[in-house]
């Protein structure tokens, strides 16, 4: 980023921050409540600018955790589900697509004819249009070469290598350095108030589980995602799970509530997703039955300087947010810090 741009951005943040400090009083009751607790720091969400989204989150947590309050929710009902790509880490490129492309390049080095055949050609070129058109059979072919026909343990080794070696094309750091700092703070804040936090994402379940604890403090058993069919086999003396290329579950749109139910058996009290494909609308709706206090956040990528700026073709997510009263998180305005990147 050129230096003048960075300064202009900083100016704008300072102005917004000062306005927010003057205008915002809604979060006070909640903050006083937190201040009464000896462990609470004065601001549990320092990477969030003051404003409506932050105060709505703090108010929500105060309301559902204040004993005797009208909106009090016992600990066992404090379930929060977060999408991953574009909600907890960047999706330009989709990290797992970068992994698959790397695996494909290695396969092409062994068999150069692969690069001339579909769907491999499209995948190497990042031609998502072709892949969406070609649908599940193409995906199965791709997964067969890159992520299946091996044991879970082998897949784990290969994905760990990717996370150790690959660098993000824009930021030049490992993908595991790119958790959104404000969302990590929010996850920690929720857990400190008795919430159990889950990921529910279209990403591959096994891929995410390798880094979810390290990046977000979310253990593997709290990660719901897309997955392949596996077979139990005994390989010599060793009982293993074999990854077939067939798809067992795609976790997206209307299947997110269904898979959340299958995994947790409880309706989330809070859900967060992002604007791009409409993939989180059903999950956010599911978390908001009438007559119950709940919280829905929808991240909008509007910060080309610090992250990326992109929208959604049919505007379905933002339309749903307006209709249902969900909180739209503007990365530009709401996040003081986007990443906690090491100084270089």
Residues that bind a second copy (CB under 8 A): 76, 152, 196, 205-206, 209, 213, 219-221, 223, 227, 230-232, 234, 237-239, 241, 248, 254-255, 257-258, 261-266, 282, 285-286, 288-290
Q: State the minimum distance, in angstroms, from the CB of residue 176 to a second copy.
A: 17
- For a second copy, the closer of residues 26 and 227 by Cβ is 227
Sign of CA dihedral 7, 13, 17, 23: positive
Q: State the minimum distance, in angstroms, from the CB of residue 138 to a second copy.
A: 24
Which strands form 223-235's sheet, in the order they lie side by side? Answer: 150-151, 238-249, 223-235, 196-204, 79-82, 270-274, 295-300, 327-330
Taking alpha carbons only, the member of 10, 5, 13, 7 closest to residue 51 is 13
Taking alpha carbons only, the member of 223, 101, 99 closest to residue 161 is 99
Sign of CA dihedral 54, 57, 61, 64: positive
Q: State the minimum distance, in angstroms, from the CB of residue 102 to a second copy.
A: 23
Q: State the minimum distance, in angstroms, from the CB of residue 196 to a second copy.
A: 7
- For a second copy, the closer of residues 53 and 288 by Cβ is 288
- For a second copy, the closer of residues 115 and 316 by Cβ is 316
- Provide the token pair at 330: 């503007």
- For a second copy, the closer of residues 33 and 241 by Cβ is 241
Q: State the minimum distance, in angstroms, from the CB of residue 273 to a second copy.
A: 14
C-beta of residue 166 within 8 angstroms of C-beta of residue 175: yes
| Rg, Å, the chain Cα set | 21
Q: State the minimum distance, in angstroms, from the CB of residue 31 to a second copy.
A: 31
- For a second copy, the closer of residues 210 and 338 by Cβ is 210
Beta pairing class for 295-300 and 327-330: parallel
Secondary structure string (H, E, C) spanning 93-138:
CCHHHHHHHHHHHHHHHHCHHHHHCCCHHHHHHCCHHHHHHHHHHH
Q: State the minimum distance, in angstroms, from the CB of residue 238 to a second copy.
A: 6
The pair phi, psi for residue 281, each rounded to 5°, is -60, -50
- For a second copy, the closer of residues 4 and 76 by Cβ is 76
Helix axes 152-165, 95-110, angle to 10 degrees: 100
Q: State the minimum distance, in angstroms, from the CB of residue 245 to a second copy.
A: 15
Q: State the minimum distance, in angstroms, from the CB of residue 299 to a second copy.
A: 21
- For a second copy, the closer of residues 126 and 194 by Cβ is 194
C-beta of residue 65 within 8 angstroms of C-beta of residue 72: yes
Contacts of 5 (CB under 8 A, 6+ apart): 305
C-beta of residue 296 within 8 angstroms of C-beta of residue 327: yes
3-state secondary structure of 290: coil
- For a second copy, the closer of residues 212 and 300 by Cβ is 212
- For a second copy, the closer of residues 107 and 249 by Cβ is 249
């Amino acid at each position: 980023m050129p230096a003048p741009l960075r300064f202009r951005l900083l100016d704008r943040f300072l102005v917004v921050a000062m306005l927010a400090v003057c205008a915002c009083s809604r979060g006070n009751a909640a903050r006083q409540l937190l201040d009464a607790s000896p462990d609470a720091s004065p601001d549990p969400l320092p990477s969030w600018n003051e404003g409506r989204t932050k105060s709505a989150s703090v108010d929500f947590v105060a309301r559902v955790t204040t004993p005797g309050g009208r909106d009090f929710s016992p600990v066992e009902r404090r379930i929060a589900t977060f999408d991953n790509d574009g909600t907890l880490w960047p999706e330009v490129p989709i990290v797992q697509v970068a992994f698959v492309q790397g695996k494909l390049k290695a396969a092409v080095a062994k068999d150069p004819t692969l690069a001339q055949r579909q769907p491999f050609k499209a995948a190497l070129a990042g031609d998502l249009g072709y892949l969406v058109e070609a649908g599940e059979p193409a995906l199965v072919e791709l997964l067969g070469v890159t992520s299946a026909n091996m044991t879970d343990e082998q897949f784990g080794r290969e994905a760990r290598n990717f996370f150790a070696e690959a660098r993000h094309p824009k930021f030049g750091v490992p993908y595991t350095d790119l958790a959104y700092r404000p969302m990590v703070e929010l996850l920690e804040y929720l857990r400190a108030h008795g919430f159990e936090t889950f990921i529910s994402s279209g990403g591959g379940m096994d891929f995410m589980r390798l880094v979810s604890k390290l990046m977000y403090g979310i253990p593997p058993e709290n990660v719901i995602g897309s997955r392949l069919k596996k077979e139990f086999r005994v390989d010599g003396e060793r009982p293993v799970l074999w990854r077939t290329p067939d798809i067992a579950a795609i976790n997206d749109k209307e299947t997110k509530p269904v898979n959340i139910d299958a995994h947790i058996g409880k309706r989330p009290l809070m859900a967060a997703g992002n604007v791009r494909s409409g993939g989180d609308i059903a999950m956010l709706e599911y978390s908001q039955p009438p007559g119950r206090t709940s919280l829905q956040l929808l991240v909008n990528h509007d910060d080309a300087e610090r992250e990326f700026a992109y929208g959604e073709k049919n505007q379905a997510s933002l339309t749903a947010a307006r209709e249902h009263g969900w909180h739209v998180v503007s990365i530009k305005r709401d996040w003081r810090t986007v990443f906690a990147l090491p100084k270089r």
